[in-house]
Structure 1
Amino acid sequence: MHRSAVAEGFDLDNIVPYFQPILNLNDNSVVSYECLARLVTTNEQMYLPNQFLNLVEKEQCFGQLAQRIFHASAQYFHDINMDWSINISEHDIDDQGFIDFLIDHMADYPNPQRVTLEVVAATAINKPEAFQRFLQLCKTLKIKVFLDHFAAISSNKNHILQLPIDGIKLDGSLVKQLSTNQQAKDFAIHLIELAKANHIQVIAEHIEDNATLMAVKALNVDYGQGYYFSHPQAEAEEVAE
C-alpha cells in the first residue's frame, strides 16, 4: 500500500460503491447486494477502505462518506427490484447531518423496505441510547437494520437480540472456524438459535471455500456472502429488473 498515492487520489467524489451479492444458500439465488465503499482514482487505481479510512477520519467526514455511498447505491438500485445495504459507522448513528439526509432521501424513495443499514454490533453496546434512537428512526422510515461483525460480543448478546433489529451477520473470524473448531461451532449454534427465536435473519459472511460453505449450511444458516461466490464488483450482476 502506498499511502502517499492514496492521499493524492483521495476525494469523496472518487469513492464509489462496489457490489457483493448475498445469496440464499438453499437455492443459490441472489437476494441482496452489499454496497462496499471503494476509492477509485482518476488513473483507475482502486483502494480498499482500510487504505483510505484513515483519511476519512483525518478529514472528519464519516457522515459525508455514508451519504456519498448511500446516495450512489440508492440511485443505482432505484428502479431495480433488489434489496441492498451499506455499512455505516458508529459516528453516523448520531450525526445529525446524516440523519437529516436519511430522512430527506427516504421521503419519496420507492420500497424503503429494500434498504438495509449495517452497523457494527459493538455499537449497540458502546452507544446503546444513540443506537436505540437510530433504530427507532429506521423503523419509522421502514429501513432495515443489521448488526455486522456479530461474534466478538458474548455477555450482551441476549439483550441485543431482543432489540427490534432485522438481522445479524456472523463475523468472518467466527465463520472461518466453523469447520475446524467445535467451540466456535457451539457458539454459532447458540447464536443462530437465539436469532431465529427472535425472527432475526442470519447471514454468514466471508465464506471463502467449500468446506466453510458446508459448515455454514450444516448450521441451517439461510444466507451467505463471500469470495467463494463473488468478489465485490463495479457492476451488480443478476439484478432483477
Structure 2
Amino acid sequence: MPIKEITESFSLEKIVPFFQPIMDLEAESVWRYECLARLINEQEVTFLPNDFLFIVERNNWCQQLTETMLLQSAQYFRHLNIPWNINIDTQDLLNPKLIPFVRDVLAEYPHRERISIELTAHAALHYENELAHFVQQCSELGIGIFIDNVGATPVNVQRLLSLPLTGVKLSGNLINHYVEDPQLQQFVDHVCEVAHAKDVAIVAEHVENQSTIELLKQLSIRYAQGFLFYPPGKEAMSH
C-alpha cells in the first residue's frame, strides 16, 4: 500500500472509531462493542492502525489519538443501551494526564458502568504497579478494565486476576491450538478456573469457525470475538 496515499493529507480528524461486536454465545447476541481506530482518507478508503500508527508515533500524537477516540466513542454510545470498550497502550497507562482527562469526559456521562478500558497483557506484565494503580483509579470512576491478548505473553494469571478486572481476552492462538497442545490446555483451564471463581468475564479472540464455538462452550467461555461474527472490513462505523 503506497505510504503516500496515507501521509499526503493525514490528520487526526480523519481517524474515527469502528465497532467490532463481542458476542454472548449463550444469548446469541452482541454483548458489547470494542472501539477500534480506523483512518478514512479523501477517497473514503479505510486504513487499519498498522497503516497509519507510524505517523501518530512519529509526531507524538498518541495521547491525542486516545483522547479523540474516547471522545468520539463516548458521544456515539452516550444514549445507547450497550456496553463498549476502548483500547489504550503502554504510553497511555504511564500518562498521568489520562485519568484526569477521562474524569472530565465522563463528568456527566450516563451509565459509566457500560464503559471498559482494554490494555494488553504485555503492558500489564511490564508495569504491574502502574496497572494496579490505574485499575484502582478506573474503579473509582466506575469504569471497567479488560486485559487483552492474554496468553501471547507469559503472565502471572493469579496475580493479574487478583485485580478487580471486568474481563480477560484470550489470545486466538490459545484456543486455536488448545486441542493438540497440553501446555496450552493447562494454561487455558487455569485462566478459566480463576476467572470464573472471581466472576471475571472471559472473551475468546479471533474466532473464525463454528467448531471453535463448540470448544468454547465445553470450556464454559461465554464470550467471543472474531471474523466468524464480522467478516473483515464489515465492522460498524461510528458515523
Report what 1:233 is aligned to.
235
Report what 1:136 is aligned to.
136
Equivalent-residue separation in structure 2 for 1:214 and 1:9 (angstroms): 46
Equivalent-residue separation in structure 2 for 1:174 and 1:137 (angstroms): 30
* Superimposed CA distance per residue, residues 192-236 of structure 1 (whole angstroms, 9 cap, x where no aligned partner): 111111221101111011122222222110111111011452347
Report what 1:40 is aligned to.
40
Question: What secondary structure does 2:90 align onto?
Answer: coil
Equivalent-residue separation in structure 2 for 1:111 and 1:175 (angstroms): 33
Q: What code does the residue aligned with 1:233 have?
A: E
1:161 aligns with 2:173: no
For structure 2, which runs of at least 5 residues remain unmatched after alignment? none
The two structures have a TM-score, normalised by structure 1, of 0.92
Contact 1:168/1:201, CA 8 A, preserved across alignment: yes
Contact 2:152/2:173, CA 8 A, preserved across alignment: no
Question: What secondary structure does 2:117 align onto?
Answer: strand
Equivalent-residue separation in structure 2 for 1:5 and 1:200 (angstroms): 43
Equivalent-residue separation in structure 1 for 2:47 and 2:109 (angstroms): 30
Deviation, 1:180, is 4.3
Map 1:99-114 onto structure 2 (within 5 A): 99-114=99-114
Equivalent-residue separation in structure 2 for 1:202 and 1:87 (angstroms): 17
Contact 1:167/1:202, CA 8 A, preserved across alignment: yes
Contact 1:94/1:134, CA 8 A, preserved across alignment: no
Q: What code does the residue aligned with 1:157 have?
A: V
Equivalent-residue separation in structure 1 for 2:160 and 2:76 (angstroms): 32
Question: What secondary structure does 2:164 align onto?
Answer: coil
Report what 2:80 is aligned to.
80
Deviation, 1:18, is 0.7
Q: What code does the residue aligned with 2:117 have?
A: L
Per the alignment, do residues 222 and 234 of structure 1 end up closer, same or farther by CA in structure 2, a change over 3 Å counting?
closer
Deviation, 1:175, is 2.4
Size of the alignment, in residue pairs? 236
Question: What secondary structure does 1:10 align onto?
Answer: coil
Report what 1:219 is aligned to.
219
Question: What secondary structure does 1:50 align onto?
Answer: helix
Equivalent-residue separation in structure 1 for 2:140 and 2:113 (angstroms): 11
Q: What code does the residue aligned with 1:126 have?
A: H
Deviation, 1:155, is 5.0
Most deviating of 179-188 and 10-19:
179-188
Contact 1:113/1:143, CA 8 A, preserved across alignment: yes
Equivalent-residue separation in structure 2 for 1:154 and 1:97 (angstroms): 29
* Superimposed CA distance per residue, residues 60-91 of structure 1 (whole angstroms, 9 cap, x where no aligned partner): 11111111111111111111110001111111
RMSD in angstroms over aligned alpha carbons?
A: 1.6
* Superimposed CA distance per residue, residues 35-57 of structure 1 (whole angstroms, 9 cap, x where no aligned partner): 11111112111111111111111
1:22 aligns with 2:19: no
Question: What secondary structure does 1:20 align onto?
Answer: strand
Per the alignment, do residues 214 and 2 of structure 1 end up closer, same or farther by CA in structure 2, a change over 3 Å counting?
farther
Equivalent-residue separation in structure 2 for 1:107 and 1:155 (angstroms): 34
* Superimposed CA distance per residue, residues 103-131 of structure 1 (whole angstroms, 9 cap, x where no aligned partner): 10111100000001000012122112221
Report what 1:146 is aligned to.
146
Per the alignment, do residues 175 and 3 of structure 1 end up closer, same or farther by CA in structure 2, a change over 3 Å counting?
farther
Equivalent-residue separation in structure 2 for 1:26 and 1:15 (angstroms): 34
Report what 2:117 is aligned to.
117
